[in-house]
A = this chain, B = another copy of it.
Amino acid sequence: MLGNFSYHNPTKLYFGEDSLNYLMDELKNYGENVLLVYGGGSIKKNGLYDEIIAILKDCRKTVAEVPGVMPNPTVEKLNEGVAIARENGSQFILAVGGGSVCDYSKAVSVSVHCDDDPWQKYFIRFEEPACEIVPVGCVLTMTGTGSEMNGGSVITNHETKQKIGHVFGDNVMPKFSILNPRYTMTLPKYQMIAGIYDIFNHICEQYFSGEDDNTSDYISEGLMRGLIHSSRIAVEDPQNYEARSNIMWTATWALNTLVSRGKTTDWMVHMLGQSVGAYTDATHGMTLAAVSLPYYRYIMPYGMKKFARFATEVWGISAEGKTDEQLANEGLNAMEAWMKDIGLVMNLTDLGAADDMIEGIADGTFILEGGYKVLARDEVIQVLKASMG
């Protein structure tokens, strides 16, 4: 563990089948005018919407709604939500949904009292909020993004074909999040699997940097081993509560800043995947799955020792009589076998990408530093071509 860092994560979490019971107590801490944000309406079918409206009524809240937040929330939708919040004097935002709904709610929270254009300020210029921030609480119905306990927010601009994430500070993190694994169990299997890979990749993005000895890597290895184990159970039996609850809890800790402490990160799989997402509107986790192995195999020589460690410590591969390179390859092969086993989409063609998109996807890929290799544009193209399958 080297370098200096701070850690502060004030989000209060309620976990388990009874966790919604705590919503009322939390709501009492905030103003009367609540903005209820949700997605495509599945919460109306499964009864959660009615439960939450009843709780809001019991708390004598005045409720305005932003329904229809889409999987990759757009800048137009952001502006719409900001307008509704302003019209209604919203003092609290209750996000009910998955990562996109949480992400979106945070983007609204920093924009309601901001005079500037939110897209330009937060997602193009990456500025921090200087205005009052409307507090956000979450009731999570999908798992994967970790948005329930971090300051992250990803917004898509279809006009400019940009999907950009901004990780805000602890003042933008949800005040509380309610995590009931049961809510995630009505999700289609495809979405569950995409979420599992999103979680796994969050850990990988933080793990594959640095050769130094770091407690964060040991925690990451524990989280990955647990996730691999639970994912196999959940894919066989999506109604297995124990597996689904472990996956939900792992997701939170995979991306709440803990496992990046003391490390540098480049988040290149996400940079590639997000650009793919802006072109194809494919499910986030699947875009990550499709580019991961070509990317990791490309950078492997630059982080050979860590990829060898990944093989032995995460996949339990015996090091006996092997070079680091052999081990590193075996580790990535084990990862590939697991990815296929759980049913991930393994190439971009299957996500609707075509060869003529590659240049554009490369243009939309932010190239960040902090990992084993800063990619040049032609290397991005090479990885994307290898990802076409």
Interface size on A, residues (CB 8 A): 49
What's the Cα separation between A12 and B230 when bound, in Å? Answer: 32
Q: Do B10 and A6 touch across chains, with their CB atoms under 8 A apart?
A: no
Q: Is A126 an interface residue (CB 8 A)?
A: no
Q: Which of A61-69, A73-81, A211-219, A362-370 contacts B (4 or more CB under 8 A)?
A: A211-219
CB closest chain-B residue, reference A212: B242
CB closest chain-B residue, reference A219: B222
What's the Cα separation between A246 and B1 when bound, in Å? Answer: 5
Set of chain B residues within 8 Å of A261, measured between Cβ atoms: 15, 249
Contacts A12-B8, A213-B242, A214-B246; A219 near B253 (Cβ below 8 A) = yes
Contacts A15-B6, A22-B6; A215 near B219 (Cβ below 8 A) = no
What's the Cα separation between A386 and B130 when bound, in Å? Answer: 63
What's the Cα separation between A150 and B262 when bound, in Å? Answer: 21
What's the Cα separation between A215 and B242 when bound, in Å? Answer: 10
Q: Is A13 an interface residue (CB 8 A)?
A: yes
Within 8 A of B (CB), among A195-254: 212-215, 217-223, 225-226, 229-230, 241-243, 245-246, 248-250, 253
What's the Cα separation between A51 and B11 when bound, in Å? Answer: 33
Q: Is A132 an interface residue (CB 8 A)?
A: no
Q: Do B213 and A218 touch across chains, with their CB atoms under 8 A apart?
A: no
**Which single member of B212, B219, B242 contacts A1 (CB below 8 Å)?**
B242
Set of chain B residues within 8 Å of A222, measured between Cβ atoms: 218-223, 225
Within 8 A of B (CB), among A1-46: 1-19, 22
Q: Do B7 and A12 touch across chains, with their CB atoms under 8 A apart?
A: yes
Set of chain B residues within 8 Å of A22, measured between Cβ atoms: 6
Set of chain B residues within 8 Å of A3, measured between Cβ atoms: 16
CB closest chain-B residue, reference A176: B8
Q: Do A6 and B12 touch across chains, with their CB atoms under 8 A apart?
A: yes
Q: Do A7 and B2 touch across chains, with their CB atoms under 8 A apart?
A: no
Set of chain B residues within 8 Å of A214, measured between Cβ atoms: 246
Set of chain B residues within 8 Å of A230, measured between Cβ atoms: 213, 215
Set of chain B residues within 8 Å of A243, measured between Cβ atoms: 213
A267 CB, min distance to chain B CBs, angstroms: 22
CB closest chain-B residue, reference A221: B222
What's the Cα separation between A355 and B215 when bound, in Å? Answer: 41
What's the Cα separation between A163 and B11 when bound, in Å? Answer: 33
**Which single member of B5, B212, B226, B313 contacts A218 (CB below 8 Å)?**
B226
What's the Cα separation between A366 and B139 when bound, in Å? Answer: 40
Contacts A15-B261, A221-B225, A222-B219; A2 near B213 (Cβ below 8 A) = no
Q: Do A250 and B215 touch across chains, with their CB atoms under 8 A apart?
A: yes
Contacts A222-B221, A245-B1; A13 near B19 (Cβ below 8 A) = no
**Which single member of B5, B9, B16 contacts A15 (CB below 8 Å)?**
B5
- Among A11, A19, A245, chain B packs the most CB atoms within 10 A around the CB of A245
A319 CB, min distance to chain B CBs, angstroms: 11
What's the Cα separation between A13 and B213 when bound, in Å? Answer: 20
**16 A/B residue pairs, CB under 8 Å, sorted by A:** A1-B249, A2-B242, A2-B245, A4-B15, A4-B16, A4-B18, A4-B19, A8-B10, A8-B11, A10-B10, A215-B246, A218-B223, A222-B225, A225-B313, A249-B261, A253-B258
16 further A-B pairs in the complex, CB-CB below 8 A; given A1-B181, A213-B229, A219-B219: A1-B246, A1-B249, A3-B16, A5-B15, A5-B16, A7-B13, A8-B13, A15-B261, A15-B262, A213-B230, A213-B242, A213-B246, A215-B250, A218-B225, A221-B222, A225-B313
